[in-house]
Structure 1
Amino acid sequence: MPIRLPSTLPAFQVLRSEGVMVMGRSAADRQDIRPLRIGLLNLMPKKIQTETQFARLIGATPLQVELSLIRMSDHETKNTAADHMEEFYRPFREVEETGEKFDGLIITGAPIEHLEFEDVTYWDELTRVFDWTQGHVHSTFGVCWGGMAMIHHFHGVKKHLLPQKLFGCYRHMNLAPERPYLRGFSDDLVMPVSRWTEMRRDEIEAAGLPVLLHSEAVGPALVEDPAHRALYIFNHLEYDSGTLNEEYRRDLDSVQVEGAQIAMPVNYFPDDDPARKPPNRWRSHAHLLYGNWISEVYLTTPFDIAEIGTKSTDLRAET
């Protein structure tokens, strides 16, 4: 089954050209099934790039998915055209007021790690989002800073500023192969990392949360929060092959202004040669993780969307 997107959204043509099944609204409405409603609260500055990355992953399952794009109500983006935001995004305030419910919600990262959570200009509204998910979203997926913010809000786990940026492709160990989110995963995998902060495994586990993926070099990567029906991933399986390269070039350009030392992403360019095209070594696990998440949402979300937040079902238990 395809992912349901507006035919005018830039991601529609990009994904179609890649062979991802996409469907416009009119065609989707003719199918006699209920699509999964997945929201994307996009906090990243490059909105179009980010929405395409996540649409690619959640659109690769056999289920019909309807993607809704959401933004913070009063935060103005400087990197995406205003007409794109006006046409495709709705402010959270509007979603909240209409009482809508979602089978799943992805909350992205944001390049504001140097700030304390409470100093972020939209922190009060974001904590409303977190609390709102408990009655209006069946399963929430917090990514990078978004995941750190959620685990801090619900459990008080702190993020720690690092002396230098964790930047590159790092090997992670599969600590919980029995969990459905890691179905089909190898014993270890490579994952892109790009952050200035960390959350520590001992503090996460002290909060009663299981760590599913972990790296000796860069710490925990995937955490499950059953009580809040949430997953938190601190790294970037959704990244395109060249995303770390784009960040590296951007940082090199900024060094001329700020005078900082910019390190090359670790284990990324072949032979550490920035002139060579970096290979993608994480794509299959990215599709596995988000496909498994969508599958779990499908198997456990109520058929009547109005019942989200009040009950869940498990199709595996039905006879």
Structure 2
Amino acid sequence: MPIKIPDNLPAAGILQNENIFIMNELQAFHQDIRPLRIIILNLMPTKIATETQLLRILSNSPLQLEVSFLHLQTHIAKNTPSSHLSMFYQNFDDIKDQKFDGLIITGAPVEHLEFEQVDYWDELKQVMNWKISHITSTLHICWGAQAALYYHYGIQKYALSKKLSGIYAHTVSKQNTKLLRGFDDLFHAPHSRYTDIHRKDVERISELEILSESEEAGIYIIGSRDGRQVFVTGHSEYDLLTLKEEYIRDKKRGISTLLPEHYFPHDDPNQEPIQTWRAHANLLFANWLNYYVYQETPYKLNSND
């Protein structure tokens, strides 16, 4: 099934060239279906690239989705034109009285800061409080997951001795979990972060379950027992070359960084990486949309019945 997005969103042309089913607003209007309303809080600096990554992976669901974007007013984006934000994004004040079926909160390159030092922290706290009563299920990614775990449960993040960057093998920690239905015993996912969370801090919270982890990358997926909160510490949505682009960016900035692990063939950055995580990334998002959003959300979204 298609995803419904604004006709002139830059990602639309990219995805159509990839033969991904994008429905324009006029087509969607004439369908007698209530699409799932998904809103994405995009905290990444390269917003257009992140939009494309997330829309590409959301498009693999058999459900019809109406996707909109949210940004925080208390942060000035340096890498995205203001015209793009004003055309395609809403502010929290615009949507705070609405309900949505699903929310995605992306990562952000602010791990070196304490949460309270992030310039938009107070506004982000408003969103995280709002989502409890206005969102059926929320998927948090990387720093977004760490921020939500800290806000809701007081779980701290800890600095790593070096950046965790690469493609890592993961296992399912809790069997018969709907979110991981259909997953192989061993599967891969990208990580790109400077901080980590500790198992003992998660295990002391009875509301949370560790669903997947990696010997090298640590905890990967945490879920609340009611399915309304999902926390993913990696970046399953990343494109094939995203880690390469991050590595080149860091080198140009003079940041001491190691090659992404298990990524370039023979650890040779001149060779093309091999895609090994796309299928499970698609399955993760499809399962979240189906089991935690579609199966749980009310048909009349804004009804109090």
TM-score category by the smaller chain?
Answer: over 0.9
Structure 2 residues without counterparts, runs of 5 or longer? none
**Structure 2 partner of 1:129:** 127
**Structure 2 partner of 1:315:** none
- Equivalent position amino acid for 2:87 in 1: E
**Structure 1 partner of 2:285:** 290
Q: For 1:303, which of 296, 299, 304 is the aligned residue?
A: 299
**Structure 1 partner of 2:232:** 233
Structure 1 residues without counterparts, runs of 5 or longer? 312-319
**Richer in helix (by share):** 1
Q: Percent identity?
A: 44
**Structure 2 partner of 1:154:** 152
**Structure 1 partner of 2:44:** 44
Q: Is the contact between residue 157 and residue 207 of structure 1 (CA under 8 Å) also seen in structure 2?
A: no
Q: Is the contact between residue 144 and residue 233 of structure 1 (CA under 8 Å) also seen in structure 2?
A: yes
1:228 offset after TM fit, Å? 7.3
**Structure 1 partner of 2:33:** 33
Q: For 2:262, which of 258, 267, 281 is the aligned residue?
A: 267
1:25 offset after TM fit, Å? 0.8
Instruction: Give the distance between the partners of 2:74 and 2:93, measured in 1 at CA.
Output: 9
**What does 1:165-204 correspond to in 2, within 5 Å?**
165-204=163-202
**What does 1:13-24 correspond to in 2, within 5 Å?**
13-24=13-24
**Structure 2 partner of 1:247:** 246
1:59 offset after TM fit, Å? 1.4
- Equivalent position amino acid for 1:274 in 2: P
Instruction: Give the distance between the partners of 1:94 and 1:37, measured in 2 at CA.
Output: 15
Deviations 1:97-136 (A, max 9, x none): xx11100000000000010011111111101101100111
1:82 offset after TM fit, Å? 1.2
1:177 offset after TM fit, Å? 3.5
1:280 partnered with 2:289 = no
Q: Is the contact between residue 191 and residue 234 of structure 2 (CA under 8 Å) also seen in structure 1?
A: yes
1:226 offset after TM fit, Å? 3.1
Instruction: Give the distance between the partners of 1:252 and 1:187, measured in 2 at CA.
Output: 35
Q: Is the contact between residue 134 and residue 228 of structure 1 (CA under 8 Å) also seen in structure 2?
A: no
**What does 1:132-143 correspond to in 2, within 5 Å?**
132-143=130-141
1:227 offset after TM fit, Å? 4.9
Instruction: Give the distance between the partners of 2:77 and 2:93, measured in 1 at CA.
Output: 16
**Structure 2 partner of 1:164:** 162
Instruction: Give the distance between the partners of 2:197 and 2:58, measured in 1 at CA.
Output: 26
TM-score normalized with structure 2 length: 0.97
TM-score normalized with structure 1 length: 0.93
Deviations 1:48-83 (A, max 9, x none): 000111111111111110001000022110001111
Instruction: Give the distance between the partners of 2:219 and 2:241, measured in 1 at CA.
Output: 24
Instruction: Give the distance between the partners of 2:108 and 2:284, measured in 1 at CA.
Output: 21
Counting matched residue pairs gives 303
Instruction: Give the distance between the partners of 2:27 and 2:226, measured in 1 at CA.
Output: 37
1:163 offset after TM fit, Å? 1.3
Deviations 1:206-249 (A, max 9, x none): 11211111011121010001357110000000000000000000
Three-state SS of the structure 1 residue aligned to 2:295 is helix
